[in-house]
């Protein structure tokens, strides 16, 4: 991100009605600009100083896994494109919207078809400007948006009509709010043990984190990648099967379940852009990871 300014990263979260399809995942330039103007008006309502910052937005919606990735790549791409946008860069409070041209979005902003169709879709935005003002706005948003950040009715209707969606709720969130919301969703989906790994990758990528909580697979996040211990049946039995007895069929089922859980955790991490390595481990997998 541009180090001469400070950025507030967030999204307009669209909670869709069951069975809602999307006629469009990206808007042409004019429609993207109109929606950006409505969003800028809403954000200034939560913190008046937001109007003094540049709003950079893409008229497209994404799955949460596309935004919640190390380095915030979609937001970073927005910031970089915004920095190259024509116009008076010394002016403040600009609205910079990116839409599609001949069906294509600029840069690396195209939403992935692999993640289309989810119940929560996100329109990412960046507020950028003078550091003290942006920090003040960011702090206000962090304390307010999760509880009180509903989009204006006109904005929600505009997004619904533009994208061809059926929207139940539209609200603004910071990326930290998105992390908290995803953590709750993963807890409900039985993925709570994985969240500390993802949180480290997103918020403190230079730190280490462990998932070392049998019967969960052993996982070590370090040097920007998640290393999962790949165990032979004998090594797995030594670490995990102490209370399963000697029934061969039961042990085989448990080991197959363990391997499926490894694949599930790896798939979630990779969807979030985290590099995953399976490491063959023998006698002491904690030491070997």
**pLDDT digits 0-9 by tens, 108-147:** 999 999 998 899 999 999 999 999 999 999 999 999 999 9
Note whether 75 and 116 are within 8 A (CB). no
- To the nearest whole percent, how much of the chain has pLDDT over 90? 76
What 3-state DSSP class applies to 166? coil
Note whether 16 and 121 are within 8 A (CB). yes
Q: Residue 87: its pLDDT value, please? A: 67
Note whether 87 and 94 are within 8 A (CB). yes
Q: What predicted TM-score, i.e. pTM, was given to this entire model? A: 0.91
Q: What is the mean pLDDT of the chain?
A: 91
DSSP 8-state symbol, 101: B
When pLDDT is cut at 50, 70 and 90, the band that residue 280 belongs to is confident
What 3-state DSSP class applies to 279? strand
Q: Residue 135: its pLDDT value, please? A: 96
Each domain of the chain, given as residue ranges in start order, spans 6-188, 192-288
Instruction: Give the residue ranges of DSSP H helices in the chain.
Output: 29-46, 64-67, 73-83, 131-148, 153-163, 175-188, 195-203, 233-240, 248-271, 285-288
Q: Which residues contact 51 (CB under 8 A, 6 or more apart)?
A: 40, 44, 93
Q: Which residues contact 48 (CB under 8 A, 6 or more apart)?
A: none
Q: Residue 86: its pLDDT value, please? A: 76
d(CA 46, CA 38): 13
What's the average model confidence in pLDDT over 33-49? 97
Q: Is the pLDDT of residue 275 over 80?
A: yes
Q: Which residue has the higher pLDDT, 60 or 5?
A: 60
């Amino acid at each position: 991100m541009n180090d001469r300014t400070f950025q507030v990263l967030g999204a307009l979260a669209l909670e869709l009605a069951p069975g809602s399809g999307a006629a469009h995942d990206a808007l042409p330039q004019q429609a993207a600009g109109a929606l950006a103007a409505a969003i800028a008006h809403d954000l200034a309502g939560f913190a008046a100083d937001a109007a003094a910052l540049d709003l950079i937005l893409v008229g497209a919606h994404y799955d949460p896994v596309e935004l919640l990735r190390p380095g915030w790549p979609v937001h970073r791409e927005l910031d970089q494109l915004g920095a190259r946008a024509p116009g008076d860069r010394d002016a403040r409070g600009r609205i910079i919207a990116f839409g599609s041209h001949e069906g294509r979005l600029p840069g690396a902003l195209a939403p992935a078809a692999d993640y289309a169709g989810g119940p929560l879709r996100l329109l990412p935005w960046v507020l950028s400007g003078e550091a003290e003002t942006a920090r003040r706005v960011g702090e206000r948003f962090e304390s307010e948006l999760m509880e009180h950040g509903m989009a204006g009715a006109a904005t929600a209707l505009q997004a619904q009509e533009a994208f061809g969606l059926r929207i139940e709720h539209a609200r603004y969130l910071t990326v930290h709010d998105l992390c908290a919301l995803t953590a709750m969703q993963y807890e409900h989906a039985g993925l709570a043990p994985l969240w500390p790994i993802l949180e480290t990758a997103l918020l403190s990528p230079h730190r280490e984190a462990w998932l070392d909580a049998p019967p969960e697979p052993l996982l070590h996040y370090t040097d920007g990648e998640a290393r999962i211990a790949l165990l032979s049946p004998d090594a797995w039995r030594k670490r995990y099967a102490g209370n399963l007895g000697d029934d061969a069929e039961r042990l085989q089922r448990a080991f197959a379940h363990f391997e499926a859980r490894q694949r599930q955790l790896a798939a979630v991490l990779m969807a979030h852009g985290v590099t995953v390595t399976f490491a063959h481990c023998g006698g002491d997998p904690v030491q070997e990871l």
